[in-house]
Structure 1
Amino acid sequence: MNLTPAASAEASALRKITWHIMPFLFLVYVLSYLDRVNIGYAKLQFTGDLGLSNAAYGLGAGIFFFGYFVFEVPSNLLLKRFGARATIARITILWGALSCAMMFVHSETTFYVLRFFLGVAEAGLVPGVVLYLTFWFPSDRRARMVAVFMAAIPVAGIIGAPLSGFLMSALHEAHGLRGWQWMFLIEGIPSILTGFWALAVLRNSPADAAWLTAEEKHAILGRLARENSVAAAAGAEHSLAVALRSSRFWLLTLIYFCLVTGNAGFSFWLPQIVKDLGVTNLLTNGFVTAIPYLAAGIGMILIGRSSDVTGERRWHYAVCCFLGAAGLIGSASVTNSIPLAVTGLSIAYVGILAGFGIFWSMSTTFLQGTAAVAGIAVINSIANLAGYVSPYVLGIVKDATHSVTYGLLLIAGALIVGGLVTLAMPRVKVLHGATSAA
């Protein structure tokens, strides 16, 4: 099919944009997620060293999200003022330094303090990138692009789980340091270096990209401007004050709260869940833990593409929630079989992670302009309080029952609620070149 000059310029621009910014954003989130959840692997060693209970570990793992909650909106406002390039560089350098500092944890208090400030440092990365993608990609590309970005989560697990297990085993007591201390140090340094690299790689918008021709800039900026106009006519919220008064905004927040409940509880406790199945060797535990991440990485790309190609969001997202719940319930029911339990965990994580890309594509359809700048961060910061609650509750449940089975069932219940609420939302249809919310 022959394309018009404008369509050809737009297609060329999108190819260049994808290959210039997505690999780097992907790398940033791989490092981010690794430095966020490697505490789950450290738990297998350092809770004994520090004498921490499961509840104390859960509180420390989750307090990261309280720091997120406090500083996420200011971070997105700073991104709008100073640009994504400076903001993402600042976030990456600070969290890398604090991740390295986790090697100096020596008490319950220092554990809580450093985890809180790690959340403060990383606050704004995900909503900032989601907002940043709206500056570059039209609506019918965003679920795929967010899925590519979020695919860093399973890749971080696939790489980080065996790596963390290896570092904790191979370097244990080297030069007087425990294995978990080496792990925090070695896995934090690449983030610091990548933060400085961001200053050379990232540009704030297509208008600043020297690698786009004048025709390509005109085509993509024109497409984005037309979409914003159509979204405004369809009822998208441009004012944050108006968005905060709308039931749609709070339904989105509730939906995302349920999804984060599933992801936070799952990711921070997965190494312990695998250990409870009988996989106690650290390196073997890392390889088994990587299996659900691998399945989720494949599933989230396929489901995100399906949502973009069909232009449908609600049912895709709801099915992801129900799939996650079914996998968790199944894995909790077959704890006497490692293969069956890991299969259930893999199905669960496909559903949980695939939901992220679809959610952000759905929410950026409803929120435009000023509402998108702060609204995305408000939704993410409030919902991420689930990341504070979920690991803590799982820790309390494990201390009380000596099992995470009931905790997994609670997470499954939250995912079911999220799926049902999604189906009560207005229908969202993504068209080629326009977005409508009915």
Structure 2
Amino acid sequence: MIVENRGAPLSDAAEAVCRKVLWRLMPVLFLSYLFCSMDRFNVSFAQLQLKEALQFSDSTYGLGASLFFVTYVLFEVPVSAFLKRFGARRVFCTIMIGWGLCSAATLLVQSAGQFYAVRLLLGVSEAGFYPGVIYYLSTWLPLAHRSKAVAIFALGIVVAGVVTGPISGLIMTTFDGVGNLGGWQWLFLLEALPSLFMAAVCAVRLADRPEQAEWLSRLEVDILNDSLQADLQRKTIRMGGTTLGSLLREPKIYLFALVFFCATSGTYAMNFWVPSIIRGFGVVDPLMIGMYSVVPWGSAAIATVLIARNSDRTGERRWHFAATAMVGAAGLAASATPNLPFSVSLLFLSIGAIGVSATLPIFWSMPSAAIDSKLVAGGLALINSIGASSGIVAPFVVGLMKEATGSMASGLYLLAVLLCCGGLLLLKIVPPMMLPHDRHMDNDEDRVVAIAAEQ
């Protein structure tokens, strides 16, 4: 679990209402993000057959994988702005239908141009969902529970890495040739269906605001709103001031975005290239590649929760992020060592996956606690959209390096360097916790606010 800051103390009644909200909202949002991530990254398994069937080079595939993020970054903030106007339920349903149809349409691709076009459309369709959910949760849950909810939601992308491999491998081997379609075409069709189903679930299970939730009593709504208001009254100094203009002029916003860029370079590149990395270890069968991919992503899912929980328990963020990033970088670099036994290479790759995954929930607890509450949704969307541009660069560059060298080693070294740079930069922009005379600041919000003020 990740706790951004503890916020105002909650009564037993408020705790009970928050638990009720968590059980109602989080299964839907978690599954939605899981299927979103599957539709985004299943191309990494499809390319095992797609490249041969359509005669695509590694750079063509890498460019197509990266183009998703061009429109994803460009449309993320504008789409998020629609939430206040049209409501979260309507926007989320539209987004899910869009990305499900775009993902399914990839089975019709016959040329590089069509591949690029469908990836760009998929980026438009998924844009705004992640920051939109972060904003949505801020309207439902006080700070004491909000970060836990964000961590559960964000775990969807890691769990997708666990389940996408075996499911994709099974589909590609079982359905290859059925109905004159390749296994990679069946993969895009079948894995798009859950997203369309979740659009209908969202329409039924979600409400835009607590006041519209038929499953909350009037008293429960009042308790929830009182808790949210109490958090607002506790807010003091904020990084980036209290206006949009001052936020855009705040240098640390862009430094946090650069840290996020370095961390997510590894996440996005690995999501698109792990099957090729495992193939480079000597595994050929798509089903076995999918099964082996469970190991790094399964390890990452477990470690993400354990590392975040320890960070919450100790209240320490910067070294949890930096140390995790650096150990992960060492794992990525070591996995590129030639002639290692397969089990050792997979172990090092798993350490690398932990490094690129477990850093992200810890990261969000720092900028989110220092941005004014009225700007936090836009501020996080800005950091996310700038940092997510790593998805444009990293997969494409890794593809070029693989094509030039014939192996994934150089790409893994690059990701290791970026991960190390992200850890070092965060240590630089977020100073250590206060000296003993400042211990009276007993929550993470106070710590990060003090850090922002010192700077």
Q: TM-score range by the shorter chain?
A: over 0.9
Report deviation, 1:217: 2.9
Task: Give the counterpart letter for 1:81 in structure 2.
Answer: R
Matched, 1:313 2:323: no
- Supply the AA of the counterpart residue of 2:330: A
Q: 2:153 aligns with which of 149, 160, 164?
A: 149
User: Aligned to 2:289, which of 285, 292, 306?
Assistant: 285
Matched, 1:299 2:303: yes
Contact 2:28 2:201 in 1 (8 A): no
Partner of 2:172: 168
TM-score, normalised with respect to structure 2: 0.90
1:206 is aligned to 2:202: no
Shift of 1:350: 1.5
Deviations 1:24-66 (A, max 9, x none): 1110011011111000001100101111110111000010000
Q: Could you tell me how far 1:318 is from its partner in structure 2?
A: 1.8
Alignment of 1:9-408 (within 5 A): 9-233=13-237, 237-333=241-337, 336-408=340-412
Determine helix, strand or coil for the equivalent of 2:340: coil
Aligned CA distance change for structure 1 residues 318 and 207 (closer, same or farther; 3 Å) = farther
CA shift, 1:384, in A, is 1.3
Q: Deviations over 1:371-398 (max 9, x none)?
A: 2232222211111111011000001100
Q: In 1, distance between residues paired with 2:240 and 2:369?
A: 7
Distance in 2, Cα, partners of 1:316 & 1:210: 41
Using the TM superposition, give the Cα deviation of residue 320 of structure 1 relative to its aligned residue in structure 2, in angstroms: 2.4
Equivalent pairs, count:
434
Secondary structure of 2:336's aligned partner:
helix
CA contact (8 A) 1:223 1:433 kept: no
Deviates more, 1:8-17 or 1:266-275: 8-17
Q: Equivalents in 2 of 1:192, 1:435: separation in Å?
A: 42
Normalised to the residue count of structure 1, the TM-score between the two structures is: 0.94
Name the CA shift for 1:375/1:247 in 2 (closer, same or farther; >3 Å). same
Q: Structure 1 stretches (4+) deviating beyond 6 angstroms?
A: none
Task: Give the whole-Å Cα distance in 1 for the aligned partners of 2:106 and 2:12.
Answer: 50
Cα deviation 1:185-234 (Å, max 9, x = unaligned): 00001111211221111122333333334443333323332323333345
CA distance in 2, matches of 1:253, 1:335: 37
Structure 1 contact 147–356 (Cα < 8 Å) conserved:
no
Cα deviations by residue, 1:387-413 (Å, 9 ceiling, x for unpaired): 011000001100110011111111111
> Alpha-carbon deviations, 1:99-140, whole Å to 9, x = none?
000000100000000001101100011111122222233334
Identical aligned residues as a percent: 38
Does the C-alpha gap of structure 1 residues 96 and 431 become closer, same or farther in structure 2, counting only changes over 3 Å? farther
* SS of match in other structure, 1:232: coil
**1:332/1:138 Cα in 2 relative to 1: closer, same or farther (>3 Å)?**
farther
| Counterpart Cα distance in 1 of 2:194 and 2:91 | 18
For residues 318 and 152 of structure 1, what CA distance do their matches in structure 2 show? 23
Relative distance call for 1:283 and 1:307 in structure 2 (3 A) is same
State the shift of 1:239 in Å. Answer: 2.0
- Residue ranges of structure 2 left out of the alignment (5+ in a row): 1-8, 434-440, 451-455
User: Cα distance, 1:236 vs. partner?
Assistant: 6.4
Contact 1:237-1:371 at 8 Å conserved across structures:
no
- For the 8 Å contact 1:321–1:355, the answer to whether it is kept is yes
Tell whether the 8 Å contact from 2:169 to 2:287 is kept in structure 1 after alignment. Answer: yes
Contact 1:91 1:125 in 2 (8 A): yes
Distance 1:266 1:346 in 2: 11
What are the Cα deviations for residues 232-251 of structure 1, in whole angstroms up to 9, with x where unaligned? 34556432211111122111
Change (3 A) 1:307 1:145: farther
Root-mean-square deviation over aligned CA pairs: 2.0
* Contact map agreement 2:238 2:370 (CA 8 A) in 1: no
- The change in CA–CA distance for 1:309 and 1:221 in structure 2 (over 3 A counts) is farther
Q: Deviations over 1:224-280 (max 9, x none)?
A: 323233333455643221111112211111111111111111110000000110111
Cα distance between partner residues in 2 of 1:316 and 1:185: 40
When residues 211 and 306 of structure 1 are mapped into structure 2, their CA distance, relative to the original with a 3 A threshold, is farther
2:12 is aligned, of 8, 11, 14, to 8
Gaps of 5+ in 1: none
Cα separation, partners in 2 of 1:40 and 1:6, compared to 1, 3 Å: closer
Closer, same or farther in 2 for the Cα pair 1:260/1:243, shift >3 Å? same
Relative distance call for 1:319 and 1:98 in structure 2 (3 A) is same
